[in-house]
Structure 1
């Protein structure tokens, strides 16, 4: 609560400063020809660590360990709102007024290009991190124009959570395709104990989670939001087929109507309450849904599988978070060491044990003790290695807003999918150049 209060005070200060600041970005976009070694990071002393809500309290535990070992370089956590969109907004506001109140910032993987291009974060010395030990897709999310601007700390891949007890009773196997999933639901819903359950849900509220779910549906149907050259490609039969799977899911009732309001936490609570047979979710849910303190009705009753696709296993959108250093922060040398501390095998193992979030160090996915405790790790590793990134765009905030508006209009029936995608294609062509 103290962290949230501090965040609100900082946000208020930033907002006040913005009134006096000129409109638009105060950062100078990085020039394509920028070259040379990473600048030396100097200054030691206290820093802030700015992050979304620490639901597991493990970040605070690790920070306490750091503080105990570094009495002259204390780290204070600043917790931002739970919503990724609100986190980004406060980080952008802080950068636009060149405030030094943010030190190490916990960036969603899709924000790297925007923050690097606007010089809101500093380039990091690549030679001080053994990047060969990290998952390659995760490292790519921390780079911009072949330079390192962040370090991957948490990765993420979408998983299909399912009620293994009900699948076994109905005599069905985990589905690999959308038709198999809906067919499995028909059999399971015929069971007395499943009569009031919903078939499937993901994250469909109008926020970043909808961008992720749309991205996965399109890729899993053989399409893409942008091609390898970065050009928008959503006005295609493949993209329409992917979006139509979700649209038809809502129309048929396979996706409950209330799922249009689901973000990660709303969906998690519904699954843990026994309201869903299948759910698209990140790995963090594993630990929470397996709690035996009465908060979950499905502990020990579920498992995970790859996301379903049109004709075979689907494709996850690449998620995760990277730690970067604000360009306006003091004590950047301390900030760099703090990032190194958070990416040690010991720290990443601690986070996995406490949260079931995806680590970025490859070795942890092959550790026999960890795979015994977290049997989903091989499936998760495969999901991440095959995952597709969301569009890398300097104007990512505008890009994701356009995607959300078009997808939401189609899911709610405000527009047919063909019209929504045609309009989205035009918007993205203007935004991604």
Structure 2
């Protein structure tokens, strides 16, 4: 899940509109308060009228049409998009500042899946009655789990995400190699591909290594791909291990050898995507949204119809993705929460999610869409992506997530930039996490 967005398109069907009407009634839609709204605060899903949707920067351009579809059907309950920065860390900070001020400026929040515990524990978002969101049972269970805190629902999954390995299929085919399953195979493939005259100047691999949330994800995937964990199933940190060291060392050695370009230390999702689309990378770890953009034939991508997608490689076998995605939650301090609930159901509907993947290639949360024949023809990575999401590892589900991810980023970044030996970085991280994560 790219840490910068969430988008969709096209008008919803009459059947969905009917279900929304039922929801509106259940949420107090017939109270004659159309346009008036509640006074904000409290957890009841009451009040109708205009709302604001706080979300990361819409790099797909699809969110505008999606919200326009809602607004055309709900002229008295219009949604205004409050577009936050591309950086997930800055998005989170602005949402927290808004909540701490008990401001009603944001109604619906587009939350990274890993923020649920923090926002719920601090009562910044409203607990949601599950019977008001009847489609939850049709979503991938792993995505619904990200929307809960202490077994209570605080958000609705609208997009999911799993890391994918994008690769230059045209170059691999010419070099006579297949998509790699392990890190060694990827390095060997790079050597063969770079022997081709047209690939001589390309770098082997890049992910997201700037000191931000993307680094937490890439570090976690490297550790998991080597058989290690950051936090175990028991909820306790366990990152000072040989397995975790092997994962971190793979990244450190990648920068030292030049397998990962020097510029890679500055890459977030978008700079890395652009480097891949410019033909500067043979392999690139990123999210599903990249597929549609890299395949554009409007001149923005030099590799349209020249790349393939595979599961992430690991140390000795296929790797493990970090679970990504975005959930929509209702601010505890929002006005017009009944409208907010309807809007979430609208955006989370099967039809809306199908339209979204058709436009943006973002991963849906509806299980049925991964088996849709037409979608699989257009997006051949859907089957492995579903398996990736179902087996993905979550980042630590902790209330102090901001402090935890900062600690992970600092340790990993120190090792990647050569300021801290990898073993020392992990030992220090273990100590820091042990102080932050308490049972």
Please say whether Structure 1 and Structure 2 have the same fold, judged by a TM-score greater than 0.5. yes
Instruction: Compare 83-92 and 130-139 and name the one that shifted more.
Output: 130-139
Displacement after TM superposition at 1:393 (Å): 1.0
Displacement after TM superposition at 1:141 (Å): 0.5
Please say if 1:118 is aligned against 2:126.
no
Please say if 1:90 is aligned against 2:102.
no
- Alignment correspondent of 1:25: none
- Alignment correspondent of 1:41: 45
Query: Using the alignment, how far apart are the partners of 2:371 and 2:142 within structure 1?
Result: 17
Residue deviations 1:51-98 (CA, integer Å, cap 9, x gap): 001112221111111111111111111000011000000000000010
Please say if 1:267 is aligned against 2:272.
yes
Unaligned runs of 5+ in 2: 1-41
Please say if 1:337 is aligned against 2:342.
yes
- Alignment correspondent of 2:60: 56
SS, match of residue 187 in structure 1: helix
Matches within 5 A, 1:125-140: 125-129=129-133, 130-140=135-145
Query: Using the alignment, how far apart are the partners of 2:187 and 2:53 within structure 1?
Result: 44
Please say if 1:218 is aligned against 2:223.
yes
- Alignment correspondent of 1:372: 377
- Pick from 109, 118, 124: which aligns with 1:105? 109
Matches within 5 A, 1:9-408: 40-129=44-133, 130-408=135-413
Query: Using the alignment, how far apart are the partners of 1:223 and 1:338 within structure 2?
Result: 40
Q: TM-score with structure 1 length normalisation?
A: 0.91
Displacement after TM superposition at 1:40 (Å): 3.4
Displacement after TM superposition at 1:39 (Å): 5.2
- Alignment correspondent of 2:9: none
SS, match of residue 232 in structure 2: coil
Query: Using the alignment, how far apart are the partners of 1:319 and 1:207 within structure 2?
Result: 15
Residue deviations 1:163-205 (CA, integer Å, cap 9, x gap): 0001000100110000000011111111111111100000000
Displacement after TM superposition at 1:128 (Å): 2.2
SS, match of residue 359 in structure 1: coil
SS, match of residue 127 in structure 2: coil
Query: Using the alignment, how far apart are the partners of 2:68 and 2:244 within structure 1?
Result: 47
- Pick from 419, 422, 427: which aligns with 2:427? 422
Query: Using the alignment, how far apart are the partners of 1:235 and 1:205 within structure 2?
Result: 22
Query: Using the alignment, how far apart are the partners of 1:406 and 1:207 within structure 2?
Result: 12
Unaligned runs of 5+ in 1: 1-37
Displacement after TM superposition at 1:206 (Å): 0.4
Displacement after TM superposition at 1:376 (Å): 1.1
Displacement after TM superposition at 1:119 (Å): 0.2
Residue deviations 1:212-251 (CA, integer Å, cap 9, x gap): 0000000111111101111001101111011011011111
SS, match of residue 358 in structure 1: coil
Contact 2:43 2:332 in 1 (8 A): no
Query: Using the alignment, how far apart are the partners of 1:57 and 1:412 within structure 2?
Result: 35
SS, match of residue 91 in structure 1: helix
Contact 2:147 2:154 in 1 (8 A): yes
Query: Using the alignment, how far apart are the partners of 1:382 and 1:431 within structure 2?
Result: 32
Q: TM-score with structure 2 length normalisation?
A: 0.89
Contact 2:44 2:337 in 1 (8 A): no
Displacement after TM superposition at 1:379 (Å): 1.6
Displacement after TM superposition at 1:127 (Å): 1.6
Query: Using the alignment, how far apart are the partners of 1:68 and 1:409 within structure 2?
Result: 50
Query: Using the alignment, how far apart are the partners of 1:118 and 1:233 within structure 2?
Result: 26
How many residue pairs get aligned? The number is: 396
- Alignment correspondent of 1:21: none
Residue deviations 1:15-38 (CA, integer Å, cap 9, x gap): xxxxxxxxxxxxxxxxxxxxxxx9
Residue deviations 1:362-387 (CA, integer Å, cap 9, x gap): 11110001111111111211111110
Query: Using the alignment, how far apart are the partners of 2:397 and 2:182 within structure 1?
Result: 28
Query: Using the alignment, how far apart are the partners of 1:54 and 1:265 within structure 2?
Result: 12
Query: Using the alignment, how far apart are the partners of 1:228 and 1:386 within structure 2?
Result: 14
Query: Using the alignment, how far apart are the partners of 1:176 and 1:109 within structure 2?
Result: 27
